[in-house]
Structure 1
């Protein structure tokens, strides 16, 4: 292929691979694989290398100014990636209409398949803007008490500890987002592409967006592949030969060589096909992982906590302890209908090889046994409660938020109480949009 073709294809190929790695690399199933290594290189090693290079070339003062500018860019919520998404979406749509649509083989336009194209585009844009404008479940002083009654404290991953920024007791399953600068109920993750958090109130919209986007890209890449196959058949490249001057023999054109020739003639269409063909499977994997977490009664944030807890259990630094007096009093006062667990998880800093402070911050659990009140301070506790039993396997710890895969899917995606911004002291079950 000519260099002008590579100027178009190569950046799209790199961008597609980078998006694939950023979507799939942080998943727990990819730990210890090449994808995780590439993810950490992109997010950690590469920025550090750029900073060191800038120090050598520009000096410390200029590098610090650049670092502060980048910090303002990545440390706050901003619409850059939203604009990038719309540029890619709009550019891809223009290329598809101008180059791909006229070349779609007749059989695909003579049946109902072509109806799927505008429907998938409209559905993708609708779910995308709904995700951008939705309330993920922002917790404020007005609805903090109501949010505390949405989910019970399991005293494993979540204890009633105050948020250091928002200054109120963090509800169970919530997390403070440093980009949105607020606590989010049922926090899953912050998505830069929608410039919004994904939480309990909008997880169903985010799943709908992933599904519509994956189906649109998958169908589009399949159409472009069939267009290229039509070009190959019309040019009779499937039965073409050429003379090799090095071997002085007549050689048949391979499948890869034939598509290289077509790619040189249709670089924009080929770049669009590569972009959609690489991102579509990444979105399918990400969507499958989202459904898996929902069916298990967990979020991406909680999945990381379970993984960390499992690592600390293997280090021998996690034990069962009696419920602290402070936890008992708070749960009884904030949510009288919740059954108080018989015991809670405690991180033992003397046994665990991980820093206890980091463990407590990540898992919302007491960092030392000293933070758990002695059994004599607890009313109605017997000698058995005084014993700290060491946890040897993650199977000994139940997920309080797992009610069965069918109930989890129905509760999260279709029917469940949403956290209102202006509460009326009720959590009525409302059908999802």
Structure 2
């Protein structure tokens, strides 16, 4: 039983690390150990590593690590693309070598040998489409069309020129420092795709996330049916109850069945756990990006709105504080008044509590249906956009 506890602890630790690394910055985890673990995994560990390298190898060692960081994070490179292909290829290879011998089985027909390959192939195709498609590069030839397609809201977007490309900067666009280009309706730069996610390829990115979520769910269920089929074919329940005298109940049989599965099919169980965890993480990403698309906003705009609201709050608090100070000074210069009771002063509202912050006003949100159509059929691919460009 000790092995079972070790595997369970290992799985929980892996899940905690993955959730902390990928989701630790979410507001729901603010002020929790998951947020602190996220900081350690993303920044703290690297800082300690740099200090260790600097102490042991000096400035040359630190500069060497920083040059690797520049190559991996500050310029386009295929490292994560190769890693993705290795993960999906290696996972499918282990599934084929460990489980295809049991297909066809009691619950699965032989067709799953081919549908699984087709599902993986479609996933790789969507990966290639997202990686190598144009995200919506803004250049001299199409900048005027993008300027008319996305008007300025004069809140988070105002008329200005891109200091790098030296062209007018359309609303909702951003100059990607990694790709060194302006991208229309910029969402984020995806290292896994080695490409920006923008106006023209957001649809491929969403399809990639959704398909890989379904692919992981399909793999988890298929492996579960393989194991259930082996239990049925080998009559494990019958042997445990008849020959070993174990009570025919879930509570009595479960530990013995799990022990038998871990001893005989540990590879399939590890693959199931891996696919299940990845599917949960992908479900979170899909929900986040689907909500952005339905609201017709982007990851980049979410951060811009947050910065704008924080700036407004600080400005309002400063004005309220200045007004309160002015009122206090004028009160001191006037005739002495009877001091208020401490109880009344305690329950008196602070002027800062009356600060009002103007909420988010997204002028690009035109309803779920229109927003979804804008993702599936980008503005730059429509006839009206192309006619403007030809004129």
TM-score tier, shorter chain, comes to 0.7 to 0.9
Separation in 1 of the partners of 2:59 and 2:253? 54
* Greater displacement, 84-93 / 97-106: 97-106
Separation in 1 of the partners of 2:272 and 2:59? 43
Q: CA deviation at 1:406?
A: 1.9
The answer to whether 1:156 aligns with 2:120 is no
Q: CA deviation at 1:194?
A: 1.1
What residue in structure 2 maps to residue 392 of structure 1? 356
Separation in 2 of the partners of 1:14 and 1:71? 30
Q: CA deviation at 1:107?
A: 5.0
CA distance 1:76–1:416, change in 2 (3 Å): closer
CA distance 1:42–1:301, change in 2 (3 Å): same
CA distance 1:264–1:78, change in 2 (3 Å): farther
CA distance 1:44–1:296, change in 2 (3 Å): same
Helix, strand or coil at the partner of 1:187: coil
Do the aligned partners of 1:146 and 1:425 also contact (CA within 8 Å) in 2? no
CA distance 1:40–1:220, change in 2 (3 Å): same
The answer to whether 1:95 aligns with 2:76 is no
* Greater displacement, 282-291 / 58-67: 58-67
Q: CA deviation at 1:418?
A: 1.9
Separation in 2 of the partners of 1:16 and 1:29? 17
TM-superposition CA deviations, 1:301-331 (whole Å, max 9, x none): 1112222323333334599xxxxxxxxxxxx
CA distance 1:223–1:88, change in 2 (3 Å): same
The answer to whether 1:404 aligns with 2:367 is yes
Helix, strand or coil at the partner of 1:180: coil
Helix, strand or coil at the partner of 2:221: helix
Separation in 2 of the partners of 1:419 and 1:402? 20
Separation in 2 of the partners of 1:16 and 1:88? 17
Q: CA deviation at 1:183?
A: 1.3
Separation in 1 of the partners of 2:227 and 2:63? 49
The answer to whether 1:138 aligns with 2:137 is yes
Separation in 1 of the partners of 2:24 and 2:255? 29
Separation in 2 of the partners of 1:133 and 1:164? 26
Q: CA deviation at 1:143?
A: 2.2
CA distance 1:258–1:427, change in 2 (3 Å): farther
- Structure of larger gyration radius: 2
Helix, strand or coil at the partner of 1:183: strand
> Structure 1: 5+ residue runs without aligned partners?
243-251, 320-347, 352-389, 429-433
CA distance 1:301–1:47, change in 2 (3 Å): same
Do the aligned partners of 1:316 and 1:392 also contact (CA within 8 Å) in 2? no
What residue in structure 2 maps to residue 208 of structure 1? 207
Separation in 2 of the partners of 1:254 and 1:310? 57
Do the aligned partners of 1:120 and 1:215 also contact (CA within 8 Å) in 2? no
Q: Which has the higher contact order (CA 8 A, sep 6+)?
A: 1
Helix, strand or coil at the partner of 2:182: strand
What residue in structure 2 maps to residue 177 of structure 1? 176
CA distance 1:201–1:271, change in 2 (3 Å): same
Separation in 2 of the partners of 1:118 and 1:410? 31
Q: CA deviation at 1:259?
A: 3.1
Q: CA deviation at 1:144?
A: 2.2
Separation in 2 of the partners of 1:172 and 1:238? 68
Separation in 2 of the partners of 1:427 and 1:241? 79
Instruction: Tell me the TM-score normalized by structure 2.
Output: 0.76
Separation in 2 of the partners of 1:14 and 1:142? 52
Instruction: Tell me the TM-score normalized by structure 1.
Output: 0.69
What residue in structure 2 maps to residue 331 of structure 1? none
Do the aligned partners of 2:380 and 2:386 also contact (CA within 8 Å) in 1? no
CA RMSD, 1 decimal: 3.7
**Counterpart mapping for 1:54-65 below 5 A:** 54-65=53-64
**Counterpart mapping for 1:248-397 below 5 A:** 255=254, 258-259=257-258, 261-317=260-316, 392-395=356-359, 397=360
Do the aligned partners of 2:105 and 2:229 also contact (CA within 8 Å) in 1? no
Do the aligned partners of 2:188 and 2:197 also contact (CA within 8 Å) in 1? yes
Separation in 2 of the partners of 1:159 and 1:307? 17
Separation in 1 of the partners of 2:205 and 2:381? 17
* Greater displacement, 172-181 / 266-275: 266-275
What residue in structure 1 maps to residue 380 of structure 2? 418
What residue in structure 2 maps to residue 189 of structure 1? 188
Larger helix percent: 2
